[in-house]
């Protein structure tokens, strides 16, 4: 039986792979995508999201624009990581009038209300949309089956500041509001996928080569990653996007490959066996001189508060990567 899933995205490169993973997964019923400003401004997020879904053959998936800025701060984007438009060297185009007439906030609330206890919401960008939706519908976390959050770091270095992960860095006030709400009666504790586990999943050129082979694509690997002249549109998108992402990681992280944070969060949302979790209390620093945006987990119960999160502390990254390669390879075979 498939799991009804909503994705909340700020579509850059790994969000694109997450969308493709959701489309390619038989156990996922993708209901829609709410968009939030983060990796790139909102208009680019909406365009990228719709374009990726169209390339994957899912023009029917609603793509709805949400918040165009954080709750209390100016928007910071990351063109150095995802490129000026958010998809690296790829330049996909969405169909005209592809954006939904209702907001991403309404998409989340309406869907949760219409299917109480059924829907999993996977938040892959800053938590602005989720926080605003909670303000409008305080029952949201009880209406959802579960909220899954890609964000935070606890025992590893941050990717934005020494102890800060990008999504919480962009809108720490929103993240703090969401964790506060989760401590007031969510049916299932939110699953948090921090850098501690998502950075265990490194997509390397040999993974993409095998993906292409499974998909029946002509693929030529030079240095850098390069699609062969006969590659299909979806394969060309994947390789053009990943080439930029891998170049970024080579410059900043010392390896030619890519952390695939967002698809790992989607995979764990529907297969909890991919991660080991610890129930704890999480809060977010919003006023630190050096630590604004830091996610703090009370693993020793110093605060004495009820748990508000199930934090992933270990993961079967190899199983996930194999699944990602096989599923995207299968999607490539089915698309022109």
Query: Given this model, what pLDDT does residue 218 score?
Result: 64
Q: Which pLDDT score, from 0 to 100, does residue 271 have?
A: 98
Q: Pick from 267, 252, 21: which is nearest to 158 by CA?
A: 252
pLDDT score recorded for residue 232: 64
pLDDT in tens, 177-230: 999 999 876 678 999 999 999 999 999 999 999 999 999 986 554 344 444 444
How many angstroms separate the CA atoms of 129 and 107, rounded?
10
Catalytic residue among 82, 169, 207, 261: 261
Q: What pLDDT score does 228 carry?
A: 47
Query: DSSP string of 17-32?
Result: HHHHHHHH-TTEEEEE
Residues 148, 266: Cα–Cα separation, whole Å? 8
The answer to whether residue 249 is catalytic is no
- Contact indicator for 149, 174 with CB cutoff of 8 Å: no
The pTM of the full predicted model, rounded to 2 decimals, is: 0.95
Are the C-beta atoms of 335 and 233 separated by less than 8 Å? yes
List the one residue out of 164, 153, 159, 151 whose CA is nearest residue 289: 164
3-state helix, strand, coil in the chain (%, to 5): 40, 20, 40
pLDDT (0 to 100) of residue 220 = 55
How does DSSP classify residue 6?
E
Distance, in Å, from the CA atom of 8 to the CA atom of 104, rounded to the nearest integer, reads 8
pLDDT of residue 225: 47
Q: How far apart are CA 97 and CA 306, in angstroms?
A: 45
- Which regions in the chain score pLDDT beneath 70? 185-186, 218-232, 336
Output the CA–CA distances (angstroms, integers) from residue 299 to 194, 200, 265, 279, 295, in the order listed.
15, 21, 21, 8, 12
- Structural domains in the chain, CATH included, are 3-201+257-334 (3.90.245.10)
Q: Phi then psi for 80, rounded to 5 degrees?
A: -65, -25
Q: Please, what is the angle between helix 13-24 and helix 233-253, to 10°?
A: 140
């Amino acid at each position: 039986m498939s799991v009804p899933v909503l994705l909340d995205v700020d579509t850059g490169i790994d969000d694109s792979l997450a969308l493709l993973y959701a489309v390619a997964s038989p156990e996922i019923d993708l209901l829609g995508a709410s968009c939030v400003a983060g990796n790139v401004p909102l208009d680019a997020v909406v365009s990228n999201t719709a374009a990726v879904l169209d390339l994957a053959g899912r023009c029917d998936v609603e793509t709805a624009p949400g918040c165009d800025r954080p709750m209390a701060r100016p928007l910071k984007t990351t063109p150095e990581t995802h490129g000026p438009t958010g998809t690296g060297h790829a330049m996909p185009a969405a169909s005209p009038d592809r954006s939904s007439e209702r907001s991403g906030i309404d998409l989340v609330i309406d869907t949760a209300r219409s299917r109480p206890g059924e829907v999993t919401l996977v938040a892959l960008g800053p938590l602005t949309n989720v926080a605003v939706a909670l303000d409008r519908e305080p029952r949201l976390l009880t209406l959802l089956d579960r909220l899954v959050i890609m964000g935070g770091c606890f025992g590893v270095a941050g990717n934005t500041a020494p102890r800060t992960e990008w999504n919480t860095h962009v809108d720490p006030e929103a993240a703090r509001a969401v964790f506060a709400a989760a401590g007031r009666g969510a049916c299932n504790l939110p699953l948090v996928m921090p850098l501690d586990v998502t950075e265990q999943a490194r997509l390397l050129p040999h993974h993409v080569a095998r993906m292409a082979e499974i998909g029946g694509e002509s693929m030529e690997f030079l240095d850098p990653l390069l699609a062969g002249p006969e590659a299909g549109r979806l394969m060309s998108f994947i390789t053009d996007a990943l080439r930029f992402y891998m170049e970024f990681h080579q410059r900043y992280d010392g390896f030619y490959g890519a952390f695939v944070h967002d698809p790992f969060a989607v995979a764990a949302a529907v297969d909890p066996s991919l991660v080991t979790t610890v129930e704890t209390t999480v809060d977010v620093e919003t006023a630190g001189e050096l630590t604004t945006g830091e996610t703090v987990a009370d693993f020793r119960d110093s605060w004495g508060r009820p748990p508000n999160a199930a934090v992933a502390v270990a993961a079967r990254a190899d199983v996930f990567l194999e699944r990602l390669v096989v599923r995207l390879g299968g999607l490539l075979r089915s698309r022109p």
